[in-house]
Structure 1
Amino acid sequence: MYAIHSVLAGLLAGSASMSALEVKSEVGRSGEDGIFQSKGIPSPATNDAATSANFKLLSGMADPNGASLDVLHDGRIPRSEDDPRSNFFFAGGSNGGRILVDLGKVIDVSSIATYSWHPGSRAAQKYQVYVADGSAEGFSAELKEDADPTKAGWEKLGEVDTSGEQPGQHAARLSPAKGKSLGKCRWVLFEVRKNPNAGPFNDTFFSEIDIIDAAGPELVRIERPKKVIRQFGSKHGNFRYTLDVSAAPDLEEWCAEHLIPVMDEWYPKIIEMLPVEGITAAESITFTLRNPADLPQNLRGVPAYASGNSVVFNADFMRRQQTGEAIGAGVHEVVHVVQFGGTREKSARQRGRANRPPSWVTEGVADYIRWFLYEPQSKGAEITRRNFDRANYDGSYRITANFFDWVIRNHEKDLMRKLNVATHDGYSDDLWKEWTGKTVQELNDGWKAYHKKKLGL
């Protein structure tokens, strides 16, 4: 939960637009909530005055690895703690910069809040806020980098420094110590400085900025996603399946009607195909749909992945491929659950990682079962004139699956089981000679010769 700290900052007098008053500065932190929510500082709003405002960079350089200023007022928050493309931050080596917000008209401001999120030094915020309604003599909205705002018709509203908080989600809010309004203004200027935490990467990951109109509409706040989890029994064995579509509730019924029944039908079949003495398949599998931004950085571009007895799907991929590759991708991952999940009984047989097969073996097995057994009609693992020159037995996925199919049809019908035993007992290329009487390279040559003739090359 958030820890809240409050200080008072005096609003400088000098303009008829805003009255001299005491401004309350609140600072909060959360490392677990996910929506920046606390009793003191609410989660970001999706319809505040900043939503339709114009944001402009007056000085400083945006980091090219981050997002544009638009993410600061889009009513969205990052999906994970280290998501550069969902945050705006200044380039490393700079000392921050100035962000100008033009609200388009003079409004009565009730509060200003900023939100940031990072697991390290980029979480902390350090900035000063100036406001103006444009009526002061000599007012200038677009200040030069070294210009003093207070000498150009601006008032200093307050300042924020959250560097005393631990990394995580930081929130800061400026609001009146008394009453409901900070006064009237049209322009808000954030003078951001590199936060004082040690280290080379300390430019704040700003996630969202809220500017609340005291006379605006009822605010809609970002809410914590509701958990949408369903349990399913098996029609084909003593298995159980958990479906977590909390991140994609729109896919709940489709998964229940189309995905889970196929997973239940094929899980027992795959277990039967890939038995290994001393290993018992998992009795339950959890299927989770996640938004791409919630996936590990190196897995955001994949349709799905398996870990133990859990399968995680890219929700965007599943939406796009409901009538295409979505279910086949699930079959592929369930093969990995059988390969690497389950429980291992104590055995004299050595089961270590030292001689585990290369990934082309295990991925080829998963794609063979998918493309040649589950959906052979789709012909998704064909060798064609286009890919023939690049085809090799260790090409992985579809290419290796095609190689396995040829070996099964011509040399060893029990290849899937033997490969899975080797996955646990130790793999060596020498096993191909034992299984088929030929080396893997000789098999590769025969397989390529077959396709060369078939394709008329």
Structure 2
Amino acid sequence: MKYCLLLAGFFICSVSDAAMNTNGDSAFNYEGGRFEKNGYVLHFTSNAADFSAAVKKRMVDAFFTVYPKLVKDFNKDAAKEVRFKIDTAYHGVAATGGGNVVYDPAWFAKNPGDIDVVTHEVMHIVQAYGRSVGPWWITEGIADYIRFKYGVDNDGGRWKLPEYTDRQKYSDGYRVTARFLAWIEAKAKRGTVKALNTALRDHSYTAESWKQITGRSLDELWSAYSKDPVL
């Protein structure tokens, strides 16, 4: 909402914490708790009195930079209204359920540059697998692959995919699986991540999905990757 006062013959206006206008022309009021742009709404709450205003700003900006792209590319039916909570009672990094993400303020106090935690977590909202038939490591591997591809400042968070070692397994999840997926996209079959994401969400995923999508089984793909893991 916009408020204006007539002072000395001029209208002086300010914008409430409803955030941006529909065209996204004006700046957010980052002190607020509700942000809206182009049909997406983010609610941001915190019970950490000393949570960094600069980190909050970057988290809000990351959401509106990344989330609409992920919805467009991976699930057009994903939630348009999302809630972030900075919660001193939560101890971890972040956790997502439905359209809600809870973050540990202690993590950001120690790692203020790790803004792409947002990218990983909002991909879980887009995934929306429900009672998935797929293993956890694919879910987390896809989310870290998305961080790798869509992240706004992975370098600032000192985050990168690991180099391959023979101690790794495709089922390690997170960054190890993400790097494997990146290799598949680059060297085996482009579009694999989107196809897996769709199969997991509509509960059609089976162990045979890898061969149906890429022409090779999961074990065959990993064997080829382990012999030439260069991205």
Give the shorter-chain TM-score range. 0.7 to 0.9
Listed one character per residue, the Cα deviations across residues 338-388 of structure 1 (whole Å, up to 9, x for unaligned) are 1128xxxxxxxxxx83x621111110010001124315655611225xxx1
Give the whole-Å Cα distance in 2 for the aligned partners of 1:373 and 1:261. 14
Give the whole-Å Cα distance in 2 for the aligned partners of 1:411 and 1:393. 15
The answer for the alignment partner of 2:59 in structure 1 is 259
Give the whole-Å Cα distance in 2 for the aligned partners of 1:379 and 1:263. 18
Q: Is this contact kept in 2: 1:357–1:423, CA < 8 A?
A: yes
The answer for the alignment partner of 1:392 in structure 2 is 169
Q: Is this contact kept in 2: 1:229–1:244, CA < 8 A?
A: no
Listed one character per residue, the Cα deviations across residues 384-427 of structure 1 (whole Å, up to 9, x for unaligned) are 5xxx1321111100000000000000122212221111112221
Q: Is this contact kept in 2: 1:383–1:391, CA < 8 A?
A: no
The verdict on how the C-alpha distance between 1:329 and 1:256 changes in structure 2, with shifts beyond 3 A counting, is closer
Structure 2 unmatched runs, 5+:
1-30
> How many residue pairs get matched?
196
The DSSP-based 3-state class of the residue aligned with 1:356 is coil
Structure 1 unmatched runs, 5+:
1-227, 342-351
The answer for the alignment partner of 2:11 in structure 1 is none
Give the letter aligned to residue 402 of structure 1: R
Give the whole-Å Cα distance in 1 for the aligned partners of 2:80 and 2:66. 14
Query: Which of 383, 389, 406 is the equivalent residue of 2:163?
Result: 383
The DSSP-based 3-state class of the residue aligned with 2:43 is strand
Give the whole-Å Cα distance in 2 for the aligned partners of 1:233 and 1:366. 24
Give the letter aligned to residue 144 of structure 2: D
More strand by share: 1
More helix by share: 2
Give the letter aligned to residue 440 of structure 1: L
Q: What is the TM-score with the length of structure 1 in the denominator?
A: 0.41
In the alignment, is residue 364 of structure 1 matched against residue 150 of structure 2?
Answer: no
The answer for the alignment partner of 2:187 in structure 1 is 410
In the alignment, is residue 334 of structure 1 matched against residue 122 of structure 2?
Answer: yes
Query: Which of 277, 281, 301 is the equivalent residue of 2:78?
Result: 281
Q: What is the TM-score with the length of structure 2 in the denominator?
A: 0.78
Listed one character per residue, the Cα deviations across residues 245-304 of structure 1 (whole Å, up to 9, x for unaligned) are 1x21322522442110011110011112213xxx6111111100111xx23xxxx2x200
Q: Is this contact kept in 1: 2:45–2:85, CA < 8 A?
A: yes
Give the whole-Å Cα distance in 2 for the aligned partners of 1:418 and 1:265. 23
- Bigger Rg over Cα: 1
The verdict on how the C-alpha distance between 1:238 and 1:252 changes in structure 2, with shifts beyond 3 A counting, is farther
Query: Which of 207, 212, 228 is the equivalent residue of 1:429?
Result: 207
What is the Cα-based RMSD across aligned positions, in Å? 2.1
Give the whole-Å Cα distance in 1 for the aligned partners of 2:159 and 2:55. 24
- Sequence identity of aligned pairs in percent? 27
